[in-house]
């Protein structure tokens, strides 16, 4: 019948808009869909998560949960509500290289890189635009340190 793509708060989907009105014309049990979405997104509590609900012809459904945006994963790691208003001067948190590696591994399938160090550089680039330091260094300097081999033992 079709796919419904929405962003939900991890573990907190409900039958209200935008999900309920999108599901109502399909004839599926909205309560079941909401319960299944909440079950599958519980580990992303507090983050917006992309969800696709595929409605089959027999009114059964399949749910696919995507990963939250990289910035949401970084904010979770540094316990920040939002990125810096001025990332050139403000710092909202600091990531260790292990945390950068963890976020890179979580996002690996959706990143443009195929090697762990290159994936880490992509994550550090997002940190740079959010005002998040890496190992106490501005993200662009952390990328340079990674290129110079400072963190090779971690990869």
Q: Residues 99-131: pLDDT tens digits?
A: 999 999 888 888 888 888 999 999 999 999 999
**Measuring CA to CA, how many Å separate 92 from each of 34, 44, 81, 89?**
34, 21, 9, 10
Q: Give yes or no: residues 79 and 52 share one domain.
A: no
**Cβ–Cβ < 8 Å for 93, 112:** no
Percent of the chain with pLDDT over 90: 50
At residue 43 the predicted structure's pLDDT band, cuts being 50, 70 and 90, is confident
Q: Give yes or no: residues 34 and 77 share one domain.
A: no
* Per-residue model confidence as pLDDT tens digits over 44-62: 887 888 999 999 888 889 9
Give the count of domains, the chain.
Answer: 2
DSSP string, 39-90: HHHGGGBTSEEEEEEEEPTTS-EEEEE-PPPHHHHHHHHHT-SS--SSTTT-
Over 90: is that where the pLDDT of 69 sits?
Answer: no
Question: What pLDDT is stored for residue 68 in this prediction?
Answer: 86
> Considering 13, 43, 65, which residue would you say is the last residue of a domain?
65
> Considering 46, 65, 84, which residue would you say is the last residue of a domain?
65
Over 90: is that where the pLDDT of 133 sits?
Answer: yes
Q: Which domain holds residue 36?
A: 2-65
Q: Give yes or no: residues 60 and 81 share one domain.
A: no
> Considering 16, 46, 65, which residue would you say is the last residue of a domain?
65
Mapped onto helix, strand or coil, the DSSP state of residue 15 is: coil
């Amino acid at each position: 019948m079709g796919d419904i793509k929405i962003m939900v708060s991890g573990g907190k989907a409900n039958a209200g808009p935008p999900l309920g009105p999108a599901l109502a014309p399909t004839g599926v049990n909205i309560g079941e869909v909401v319960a299944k979405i909440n079950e599958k997104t519980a580990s992303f509590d507090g983050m917006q998560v992309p969800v696709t609900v595929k409605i089959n012809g027999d009114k059964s459904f399949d749910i696919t949960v995507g990963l939250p945006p990289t910035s949401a994963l970084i904010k979770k790691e540094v316990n920040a509500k939002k990125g810096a208003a001025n990332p050139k001067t403000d710092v909202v948190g600091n990531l260790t290289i292990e945390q950068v590696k963890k976020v890179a591994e979580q996002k690996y399938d959706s990143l443009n890189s195929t090697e762990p160090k290159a994936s880490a550089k992509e994550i550090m680039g997002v940190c740079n635009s959010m005002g998040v330091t890496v190992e106490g260094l501005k993200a662009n300097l952390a990328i340079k340190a990674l290129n110079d081999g400072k963190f090779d033992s971690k990869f």
